[in-house]
Structure 1
């Protein structure tokens, strides 16, 4: 690393009316050199050429030296920041960085905001405005953390270290008492911004080095067959509760998400040549197409509400929040002793209706409109009844193919010039 030298000198041929002359600065790194104006003025009689500073204890001399020291410190700081991103740095680059000309002097909050705006440009194509809003919430948490922890509004990328990331993680968990999944979402969005900064050359070292996401254990979220039967067969006292249950059951037997059911119309229904009715649509969340053959129960529910909903829609729908409030009431009436939300229907379809009935995971992925089978794994869990059934079939298949004999095992010693080991085998 080449040494940085910052020196100051007078430009004597430009004396002002008050007798002061401008002080110029010079930045030298190896063979590269550049000059700049300090916008500081001094009386020539106070200037010491050798030290490059004003002499004496007068107020003008002290004020001049204080400003020159600040400039020198800022230049060294800019040089250090640039070195964190690049192997070699020129004097001109340091000058531009010090004077705020360099585009590389991007800051975390500012860059995060730009990333969010780039995301917003995709809203309406392959992104949802709700997701954009969540990115904005995540940025606000980061802003609050920086203000509380560092007492500043923004931070240069070079100040980001692994300890910054771990401190932000702790702030979300300990100070804001956030659940693990929420912490992962917010930290994950910061991780995306950092990756973009690395790709743009704004960072040389990744502050996420050594950081690991602490994922919670996935707990199956679906109704058991018994709970599903309880919901289907228990009489409900109010029309709204019956409507909510019917839409929930439609989702449980098709796997279609709440927002996608809301958009279904008669145009999404198509009868195939073999007489099977299908629903053809696309996920509102990702735009991924899905094609679902309809079982008898969903067909009955469509017929039940035909012509009732406006604009040709298949079902009259309440809001998602009101639906979940009513599902809580329904669960209580049906004797289901746990929290039931509408999204459990989609999990129930993946686990109880399809996978546990022998439908392959790849087929379930297509039915649910997932791009990646790993997303399907979150939904699809085998029930204990399915595992027991499969193992029973396995026992029937292998029969008496594998039997344990009572013959004693004989010991045979295998010797090589370097290794001796014992192997047991049948006589």
Structure 2
């Protein structure tokens, strides 16, 4: 039987109009030649009812129509599930499952909205506004997928399966034409929400089982020793460009991200017994603490701009967009033939400044403020490549100095 043979319509039971002019909403479910009716367990104003919906834009109207859409979507999803395993599906069977599902079981988008609402309450505590935004974006794509590809306003958790996940992945790649890294992010956000539902006992089987989104191989870019030397020694033509350079170099030699540099104050500086100055702070992105011993160059930069930043900040920071525009001019001035972004400095600290010089992975992870060491591991391949090059160079030097008698 084709899904076109399944219809869900709504009407008012006008002979039970109450004193406020509201009537019970009834549903009529047709599956092929079988038909049944059911109560939607809602009331609607008789004066606003038109063509199976309530007209108007009030909060009450919107909520009634949303719940009617969910009932229709649930009925269609139930039929799809049942028809996949049985040839003959009757309207009464769908009705029985529908009433249990619609009034006792969560749907995906409804649960996703609740998840986001709870997540946003934690922004500034142990969650970031950027992460909340990524969940909202993922939600919007799921909602669009349901509407455009499945013609549904929502879907019950029990209707989710591996096929749904694969189709959504394909939709993001072909219909939305998103970048592979963005697809990985949104699929991860959806999986997190579904895992929460599994933990809450709403769904028992994980529809993501066996799914693995192809992850693009990301090349971690970093500045070489020679490029760092050019940045430090090339004369520049304006104080503005010198400040851009100094802020960038500060990140190169500390690994501190732009957003965290903006938050630094003198209170983040601590000096230990042997005179080593440390920056101790908490990452805005992950709320993970980090501790970094300062090398001579970042100490010099702090002294150079001491008491020049407003609000007792440690450094006078430009806006991120302005800073990246300045980095474009800085690259040209220093004859660096690549695009410089501020985040490149953090990569440089992880590779050229620390890992490549034998600093242990666990130490680098703590200084970068990573919540897991495997996050730091992404820099290891770059470091291994550099170690291989340095080892070959060492081998040639040894060969020049020593010979073995045969």
Give your verdict on TM over 0.5: yes
The residue that corresponds to 2:217 in the other structure is 217
Whether the 8 Å CA contact 1:222–1:348 is kept in 2: the answer is: yes
When residues 180 and 38 of structure 1 are mapped into structure 2, their CA distance, relative to the original with a 3 A threshold, is closer
The residue that corresponds to 1:346 in the other structure is 346
Whole-Å separation in 1 of the counterparts to 2:316 and 2:307: 10
1:285 aligns with 2:285: yes
Write 1 or 2 for the structure with the bigger share of helix. 2
Whether the 8 Å CA contact 1:75–1:98 is kept in 2: the answer is: no
**Bigger mean CA offset, 195-204 vs 144-153:** 195-204
What runs of 5+ residues in structure 2 fail to find an aligned partner? 1-14, 16-23, 39-71, 85-91, 399-403
When residues 76 and 336 of structure 1 are mapped into structure 2, their CA distance, relative to the original with a 3 A threshold, is closer
**Bigger mean CA offset, 229-238 vs 284-293:** 229-238
Whether the 8 Å CA contact 1:357–1:386 is kept in 2: the answer is: no
Whole-Å separation in 1 of the counterparts to 2:75 and 2:319: 58
The residue that corresponds to 1:362 in the other structure is 362
Backbone CA RMSD of aligned residues: 3.7
When residues 78 and 238 of structure 1 are mapped into structure 2, their CA distance, relative to the original with a 3 A threshold, is same
1:127 aligns with 2:93: no
SS at match of 1:270: strand
The residue that corresponds to 1:114 in the other structure is 114
The residue that corresponds to 2:308 in the other structure is 308
1:69 aligns with 2:35: yes
The residue that corresponds to 2:60 in the other structure is none
CA deviations over 1:111-162 (Å, ceiling 9, x no partner) = 1111111211221211111211111111111111211101222122233222
Whole-Å separation in 2 of the counterparts to 1:64 and 1:217: 50
CA deviations over 1:169-200 (Å, ceiling 9, x no partner) = 11211222211110100111111112122223
The residue that corresponds to 1:103 in the other structure is 104
Whole-Å separation in 2 of the counterparts to 1:184 and 1:64: 40
The residue that corresponds to 1:190 in the other structure is 190
What runs of 5+ residues in structure 1 fail to find an aligned partner? 1-17, 19-36, 41-62, 85-90, 398-402, 406-427
When residues 391 and 362 of structure 1 are mapped into structure 2, their CA distance, relative to the original with a 3 A threshold, is farther
The residue that corresponds to 2:205 in the other structure is 205
Larger radius of gyration: 1
Whether the 8 Å CA contact 2:77–2:159 is kept in 1: the answer is: no
Whole-Å separation in 1 of the counterparts to 2:30 and 2:195: 43
Q: Count residues with an aligned counterpart.
A: 335
Whether the 8 Å CA contact 1:96–1:102 is kept in 2: the answer is: no
When residues 81 and 102 of structure 1 are mapped into structure 2, their CA distance, relative to the original with a 3 A threshold, is farther
CA deviations over 1:259-313 (Å, ceiling 9, x no partner) = 1111111111111111111111111111111111111100110000001001221
Whole-Å separation in 2 of the counterparts to 1:162 and 1:101: 22
Whole-Å separation in 2 of the counterparts to 1:262 and 1:273: 28
Whether the 8 Å CA contact 2:278–2:293 is kept in 1: the answer is: yes
CA deviations over 1:343-371 (Å, ceiling 9, x no partner) = 11000001001111121111111211112
When residues 385 and 134 of structure 1 are mapped into structure 2, their CA distance, relative to the original with a 3 A threshold, is closer
Whole-Å separation in 2 of the counterparts to 1:120 and 1:284: 15
Whole-Å separation in 2 of the counterparts to 1:146 and 1:64: 22
Whole-Å separation in 2 of the counterparts to 1:251 and 1:244: 11
Matches within 5 A, 1:24-423: 69-71=35-37, 98=99, 102-104=103-105, 106-380=106-380, 381-382=382-383, 384-390=385-391
The residue that corresponds to 1:6 in the other structure is none
Runs of 4+ in 1 over 6 A off after TM superposition: 37-40, 63-68, 72-82, 391-397
